[in-house]
Structure 1
Amino acid sequence: MSDEATRRAMDAVNRVFEEQVVGQGRFEALAEVYTRDALILPPGGEVVRGLEAIRGFWQQAAQALGVTACRLRPFETTMLGEMACEVAQGEIVAGSGTIPIKYVVLWKREDGAWKWHRDIWNASA
């Protein structure tokens, strides 16, 4: 797969997160976003391990914050063979307003598809 094709595949996964998971509340679609043994490192929280725990985290967080939308804007992607590192900015639209964020996602190919394997983010000041 060329770097351009990989970037398109990654962009499609990011759209699943933005449109289906956050926009429509379809948390089952997280199986298309995260690897089975993914980790997330939320700001101010403990490490969340595995797809089921990540699904529970996002459901609770979206409800608690009143999240209605998000936008992800990668600006740097480094290919590392069967993995890739994406650095990005974005924003979360919640009941309290728009929250600017920055994040790093370590991508991994799982069953032929690119997915988020490690995910860490925090608010931009």
Structure 2
Amino acid sequence: MEFFLTFIPTDIYKEIDVVRGKLEEAFAAKRFEDVSKLYTEDCRFMPPGQPLISGREGVCAAATQMWTGGIRTIKLEMEEAVGLGGDWAYSRGFVTFLLEDGSVAMPGKYFALWKRVDGQLQLFTDIFNRIK
């Protein structure tokens, strides 16, 4: 007897996946302010080896710094998205930062806490680490 597990995306998964696509697209187009608008105004951005970054202005500056450092593409592969009740959800998965030539600058994993603001899920806390 064979068993097959089928992944059925939840509404939360689908909603977060739309935002994921917007983030990837906005970063690739150098629209860093649009990237920051996917985060709550009081967000926390926690890149590896750096101090805590707070607020949309900080996210915009961090995205600009990544671009200046040679990153051209962010690829997010979501493994899980779970609604926590009320206005909260989390997602986790893998992130890959690519250079202009398509080579991998940094493979990583991420955890994100989402908050619903004015009916839309936005990133409240974004943490990612390098996979060595």
The two structures share one fold, judged by TM-score above 0.5: yes
| Partner SS state of residue 40, structure 1 | strand
In the alignment, residue 19 of structure 2 is paired with which amino acid?
Answer: V
Q: Look up the match of 1:114.
A: 121
Q: Alignment partner of 1:15: what SS?
A: helix
Q: CA deviation at 1:31?
A: 4.0
Answering whether residue 112 of structure 2 is matched by residue 105 of structure 1, we say yes
Query: Does residue 1:9 correspond to 2:15, yes or no?
Result: yes
Q: Which deviations, in whole Å up to 9, do the C-alpha atoms of 1:18-76 show, x marking residues without a partner?
A: 111x2101012124410111001111010001111111111112212x11112101112
Q: Which amino acid aligns with 1:47?
A: L
Residues 1:60 and 2:65 are matched in the alignment: yes
Take 1:5 and 1:88, find their aligned partners in 2: how far apart are those partners?
Answer: 17
1:73 to 72, 77, 80: 77
What is the identity, as a one-letter code, of the residue corresponding to 1:76? E
CA distance in 2, matches of 1:90, 1:47: 19
Q: Secondary structure at the match of 1:68?
A: strand
Provide the identity percentage.
28
Question: In the alignment, which residue of structure 2 is the partner of 1:24?
Answer: 29
Q: Measure the CA separation in 1 of the matches of 2:93 and 2:43.
A: 19
Q: Which moved more, 1:96-105 or 1:36-45?
A: 96-105
Structure label with greater radius of gyration: 2
What is the aligned length?
A: 121
So what's the TM-score if we normalise by structure 1? 0.88
2: CA distance, partners of 1:54 / 1:12: 19
Greater fraction helix: 1
Whole-angstrom distance in 2 between the partners of 1:7 and 1:95: 29
